[in-house]
Amino acid sequence: MKQFPDLKPNKADALAALAVLLLAAALGARLWTSPPGAAGAVVVSIDGAAVERVALGEWSRTYAANGYTVRVEATAGGVRVAASDCPTQDCVRTGTITRAGQSIVCLPARLVVTLTGAAEYDAVAG
Ligand SMILES: [Zn+2]
């Protein structure tokens, strides 16, 4: 007579399941710290042409554009226009942008600050 296999989970099965769970958690953690859309670099354009591409970090730069002076400040997580002498101040009011693809526009100065992805930046830099 054929014997049915023991279907009760044994210790080895439990360890294997635990290993799979840990692996899944590790992968999840990696995705969480480095999502595909994470911003990695700032591109500053004046008159529609990119004039500078800088990796995100703690920095502050001032750009002269069409008679206006625009100060751009970045942190590890985003970038903003900290000060501008343009009449509308829309760029300053936009605040900090933190996601790749977002941008800050200063129409009077015709200056655009755009966040790009880290991978995109690496491709350009490498
Ligand atoms: Zn402005």
pLDDT digits (tens, 9 = 90+) for 116-125: 987 544 444 4
From the CA of 51, how far away is ligand 1's center (Å)?
17
Q: Place 6 in a pLDDT band, splitting at 50, 70 and 90.
A: low
Note the pTM of the prediction, 2 decimals: 0.66
- Pull the structure tokens for residue 67: 């008679």
From the CA of 105, how far away is ligand 1's center (Å)?
7
What is the pLDDT, as a whole number, of residue 121? 44
- Going from N- to C-terminal start, the domains of the chain cover 39-125
From the CA of 85, how far away is ligand 1's center (Å)?
7
- Pull the structure tokens for residue 108: 């009077």
What is the pLDDT, as a whole number, of residue 44? 98
From the CA of 52, how far away is ligand 1's center (Å)?
18
Q: Beta partners for 53?
A: 43
pLDDT digits (tens, 9 = 90+) for 16-54: 888 888 888 776 655 444 455 678 999 999 999 999 999
From the CA of 58, how far away is ligand 1's center (Å)?
21
CATH 1.10.10.10 given to domain 39-125? no
From the CA of 6, how far away is ligand 1's center (Å)?
73
Q: What is the 3-state secondary structure (H, E, C) of 25-66?
A: HHHHHHHHHCCCCEEEEEEEEECCEEEEEEECCCEEEEEEEC
From the CA of 1, how far away is ligand 1's center (Å)?
86
pLDDT digits (tens, 9 = 90+) for 48-100: 999 999 999 999 999 999 999 999 999 999 999 999 999 999 999 999 999 99
From the CA of 91, how far away is ligand 1's center (Å)?
4
In one-letter notation, the amino acid at residue 44 is: V
Over residues 104-117, mean pLDDT:
97
